[in-house]
Amino acid sequence: MSNVTVADIARHLGISTATVSMTLRNKGRISEQTRQRVLKAIDELGYVYNQTAANLRNRSSNQVGLLLHDITNPFYAEMTAGLSREMENHDLMLFLANSEESADRQQQFMDSLQRNNAAGMVICAAQPTPHRFFESLQRRCMPTILVVRPVPDVAIDFVGTDNFLGCQMATEHLLRLGHRHIAFIGGQTVSISRSRRLGGYMSKLIEHGIAPNQEWIISCGANRNDGTQAMMTILEKHPEVTAAVCYQDVVALGAMLALRKQGKVVGCDFALVGFDDIPESALAESGVTTVSVAAREIGRKAGELLLERIAGNDEPAKSVILVPTLVIRQSCGS
C-alpha cells in the first residue's frame, strides 16, 4: 500500500488538496496546465487512490456481494461468471460467499456485507433459510436481487427462469415422442422451484389425459450419485416407465449412468430430459436433451438489475423470468 496521499501531491506542487481531488475526478474547472502538472506528479510519486477513504467520505461503496449455496455446481459457477463480468464492467468489486446451505454462514455473510456497507447484493439463499431472513432483507435499505430460487411473499427483485413452462416443454417433448409412462426425478421436496417444475410436468400429463403417478415421482439431491440411485429405483420398481423428466442436468447425467449399467441405451430404451443446460450436458456421450435456462444470462441480468437499483431506481420489486428453451440432443432419441 502506497502512502502517498492527495495532500502529498498538493504539497509537492504547492497547490491545494481540492485542486488535486478535482483533477482526479474531472470535476470543477481545472486549467489544463494544472491538470497536467497533477497527473505528472501522481505518476512520479506513485500515488494510489484510496477507495476506502472515498467510500467513507461519500458514504458510498463500490462493493457488492454474491451469496451462493454451492459455487462448485456448474450452473452457479456459470452464473457467477456472468455476474462477475457485469460487475467488472461497472468497476464494482464482487464479494463471494459460499454458504454450503448453512443458514448460519449465510447470516454471517449478510452481517459482513452490512458492516462493509456494500452497495448491494445478489442472493441464492440456502435451502433451510428462515423466512425472517428475507423479511430483514427487505427492511435493510441495501439493494438486493434474489436469483434462481424463488421466495414467496417477499417484495424483493428476482431473476430466474420459468420453471413451470420449462418443465411443460420437457414433458410435452416426451409426450410427443409417444411416451406415456413418464417419471419425474430429482429436487428436494421443500424446494419451491421443484414444486413449480412438478406443476409443469403434471399439467402436461393431465392435458394429455394421463393421470400423474405419485410412485414415479422421486426426489433426490442435486448430484449425479443421487440421480443414479433414483433411476435405479425406477428401473427396479417401475419397469413400465420409459422416460423421465429430470430436475437438473446433473441428475440426468447420473440417471444415464444407471441406465447404462443396466444395459439400456439412452435415447432408444429410455428417454431423458434434463434442466439447466450445463456444459457437461452438451458433451455427454449421448448429449442430454435439456431445458436451457442460460445460467450466464441470469447472472448478467441480475447484475444489470442490481446496477439500476444502486443507481436509485425505486420502482416496486419485479421478477425477471427468463424464458427457457428446449435444447434437443440425443437423450430422447434422434
Partner DNA sequence: TTGTAAGCGTTATCAT
Partner DNA sequence: ATGATAACGCTTACAA
Q: How many residues bind a second copy (CB under 8 A)?
A: 55
DSSP letters spanning 36-100:
HHHHHHHHHHT----HHHHHHHHT--SEEEEEES-TTSHHHHHHHHHHHHHHHHTT-EEEEEE-T
- Part of the chain binding DNA (CB under 7 A), chosen from 21-29, 211-219, 274-282, 285-293: 21-29
Decide: is 93 part of the binding site for a second copy (CB under 8 A). yes
- What DSSP character marks residue 108? H
> Binding string, 32-71, against DNA, x = CB under 7 A?
-xx------------x-xx--xx-xxxx------------
CA distance 273 to 256: 11
User: Residue 66, interface with a second copy (CB under 8 A)?
Assistant: yes
**Part of the chain binding DNA (CB under 7 A), chosen from 13-21, 169-177, 229-237, 310-318:** 13-21
The nearer residue to a second copy, 31 or 116, going by C-beta atoms, is 116
3-state SS, one letter per residue, for 180-244: CCEEEECECCCCHHHHHHHHHHHHHHHHCCCCCCHHHEECECCCHHHHHHHHHHHHHHCCCCCEE
Percentages of the chain per state (helix, strand, coil), in multiples of 5: 45, 15, 35
Q: Which is nearer to a second copy, 117 or 138 (CB)?
A: 117
Sign of CA dihedral 224, 227, 231, 233: positive
Residue 31 binding DNA, by CB under 7 A: yes
- The least distance separating a second copy from the CB of residue 7, rounded to whole angstroms, comes to 14
- Site residues (CB under 8 A) for a second copy? 1-2, 48-53, 55-56, 59, 61-63, 66, 70-72, 74, 77-78, 80-81, 84-85, 88, 91, 93-98, 100, 105, 108-109, 112, 114-117, 141-142, 224-225, 228, 253-254, 257, 260, 279-280, 283, 285
What residues line the site for DNA (CB under 7 A)? 3, 5-7, 10, 14-22, 24-25, 27-31, 33-34, 47, 49-50, 53-54, 56-59
